[in-house]
Amino acid sequence: MTNKAMNEIKYFNRMNGKQEVEKVYGDWFIKFLYTSAIGQKLGGIFTNATFSKIYGGLQDAARSAKKVRPFVEQFNLDMEQYQPGSIPASDIRDSYASFNEFFIRKFKLGKRSFVNEPNRMAAFAEARYVGFSEINEKEKYPVKGHYLKAKDLIGNDQMASIFEGGPLMIARLCPVDYHRYHYPDNGVVIDHYPVHGAFDSVNPFALKFKNEIFIKNERYVTILQTENFGRIAYIEVGAICVGKIVQSHDWKKPFKRGEEKGYFLFGGSTVVILGEKGLWKPSQDILDNTSRGIETYLHLGQEVAVK
């Protein structure tokens, strides 16, 4: 196998039933940071909160809007799916006041729908998923001897005990993806709090070299009581160059399936959810692909888990 093939990020696209190779934004920088001797020595400069927030903040500047057209063309984005930005323009690519406004673009009404059967959980992000029926020492992600524990992810031992041995899903959002995240079911918020940490990349390539990223990175934990799937720990994980994790839903109000929970400003990012043991499991194609070491790409609102 060539070095190029070994470094490729492959995923299964549920929409077309094919395995595809991800085109990575900033690929050279991620490889430099995690594989080169110089990059590893300088890593702390780029993975701290200050750098990520400054870099993310630059994406709010008006001059950053110049990046939108090249980005759309490089990744061949179908802009017909999205709402325009705040600037009137004949071409939607010119309608965004900044790169961040483009980054958090919304879908047009009707472009995504949410499964509504009570036994089917709706995908809470448009992302690449891995999933496990239960958290235990046999299930490792990534495949370098490290497995995720509820208490490490949640940062609260008492709350984590609810989810030990339960199902786990990780939804990775690439910079090219829709960056708003949603509720997977109806329910209410029981608790919510930040867990401060670093801003490493969540790219699978980075995870191979630094597999504690999910438990060391900045994250926001929300404990949900859902109507059909019991209690769920919903965790947004920050990543390199993510300027901010924004919660747009009012915590005091009940939420509906498909309602927006929040969004990430510029950068790759991840949502992790944990469930109570035996109440649900990830969809079979996600389980099968995870066992093969690849992610499953889903559209927002598609079935992501079942009771």
Q: Where in the chain are the domains?
A: 120-306
Quickly state the pLDDT bin for 38 (edges 50, 70, 90). low
For residues 237 and 255, give the distance between their C-alpha atoms in angstroms, rounded to a whole number.
21
pTM for the full predicted model? 0.84
Length of the chain: 307
Give the pLDDT of residue 202. Answer: 46
Give the pLDDT of residue 31. Answer: 55
Give the pLDDT of residue 152. Answer: 78
Mean pLDDT of the region 11-40: 71
In tens, the pLDDT along 238-259 reads: 765 555 789 999 999 999 999 9
What three-state secondary structure class fits 52? helix
For residues 154 and 219, give the distance between their C-alpha atoms in angstroms, rounded to a whole number.
9
In tens, the pLDDT along 119-129 reads: 999 999 999 99
For residues 12 and 296, give the distance between their C-alpha atoms in angstroms, rounded to a whole number.
5
For residues 199 and 219, give the distance between their C-alpha atoms in angstroms, rounded to a whole number.
9
Under 8 Å CB-to-CB from 253, ≥6 apart: which residues? none
Its sign, for the CA torsion 266, 200, 274, 128, is: positive
Under 8 Å CB-to-CB from 172, ≥6 apart: which residues? 127, 128, 129, 202, 204, 268, 270, 295
